């Protein structure tokens, strides 16, 4: 890993995060939101991957030090997460990035996976003054409500046809409602399982879907954050 842990103010307290800088030293900001496991090495590696593509990438620790490899414990951490506080941590992440000299232009995108995908969409909804675009990889969280009329920044979504937890019908209904309200929400489907982007989980990882969604994400972010 080429990044380092940093601390930044968020909602009156301090939040930790993993910051990775692009080779050329500057670029637009990008918040990388964790899955339900926490800020594990996989997420740090993804921040490094996006940094290598030209983004100043920050992965905030929304669990504040807790992480797990147990699905049962991950589910408990997900359900215990205070969504309002997590939203403020993500706002703090965006504010921190915007203040960095390395972030040029002063634009910040947000993306996340599983729990993080839904949180990324939520943060974009709640804080469009500091977040300029969002990418949702098969986002799911039962406590996060998305209000279509409040989604004002462009959104890109990646979803799996074999994902039983995120029905494609509900995905398209949300995207259509966002577009009907004047927003932008482009959806791509992949013949894959939930978490197809996570190459540390061989039972669900799909190399072709991961590569294609990564390429589409880079194209989307480079346009939205130019």
Note the maximum CA span of the chain.
Answer: 43
Task: Spot the catalytic one: 132, 163, 193, 206.
Answer: 163
DSSP 80-126: H--HHHHHHHHHHHHHHHHHSTTEEEEEEEEEEETHHHHHHHHHHHH
Q: Residues 6 or more apart from 94 whose CB is under 8 A from it? A: 29, 31, 108, 110, 123, 127, 130, 131
Concerning whether 194 is annotated as a catalytic residue, the answer is yes
Write out pLDDT tens, residues 176-225.
999 999 999 999 999 999 999 999 999 999 999 999 999 999 999 999 99
CA angle 43, 161, 213 (to 5 degrees): 45
| Number of structural domains in the chain | 1
Residue 119's CATH number: 3.40.50.1820
| Known catalytic membership, residue 15 | no
**Annotated catalytic residue within 61, 136, 194, 206:** 194
The pLDDT confidence band at residue 1, using thresholds 50, 70 and 90, is low
Domain that holds residue 115: 4-224
- What is the pTM for the complete model shown? 0.97
What angle is formed at CA 51 by the lines to CA 185 and CA 25, rounded to 5 degrees? 125
Write down the catalytic residue from 15, 114, 141, 193.
114
Q: Please report the pLDDT score of residue 216 as a whole number.
A: 98
Question: 64 catalytic, yes or no?
Answer: no
Give the pLDDT confidence of 76-114 residue by residue, as tens digits: 999 999 999 999 999 999 999 999 999 999 999 999 999
């Amino acid at each position: 890993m080429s990044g380092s842990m940093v601390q930044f103010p968020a909602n009156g307290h301090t939040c930790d995060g993993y910051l990775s800088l692009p080779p050329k030293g500057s670029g637009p900001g990008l918040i990388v939101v964790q899955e339900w496991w926490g800020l594990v090495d996989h997420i740090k590696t993804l921040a490094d991957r996006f940094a290598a593509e030209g983004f100043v990438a920050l992965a905030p620790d929304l669990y504040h030090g807790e992480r797990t490899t147990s699905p049962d414990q991950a589910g408990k951490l997900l359900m215990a997460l205070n969504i309002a506080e997590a939203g403020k941590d993500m706002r703090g992440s965006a504010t921190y990035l915007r203040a960095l000299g390395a972030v040029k232009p002063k634009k910040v995108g947000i993306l996340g996976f599983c729990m993080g995908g839904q949180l990324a969409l939520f943060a974009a909804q709640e804080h469009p003054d500091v977040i300029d675009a969002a990418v949702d990889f098969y986002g799911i969280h039962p406590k996060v409500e998305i209000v279509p009329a409040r989604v004002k920044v462009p959104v890109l979504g990646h979803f799996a046809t074999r994902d039983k937890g995120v029905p494609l019908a509900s995905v398209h209904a949300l995207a259509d409602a966002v577009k009907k309200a004047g927003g932008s929400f482009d959806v791509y489907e992949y013949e894959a399982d939930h978490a197809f982007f996570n190459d540390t989980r061989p039972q669900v990882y799909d190399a072709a879907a991961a590569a294609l969604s990564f390429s589409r994400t880079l194209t989307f972010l480079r346009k939205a954050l130019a």
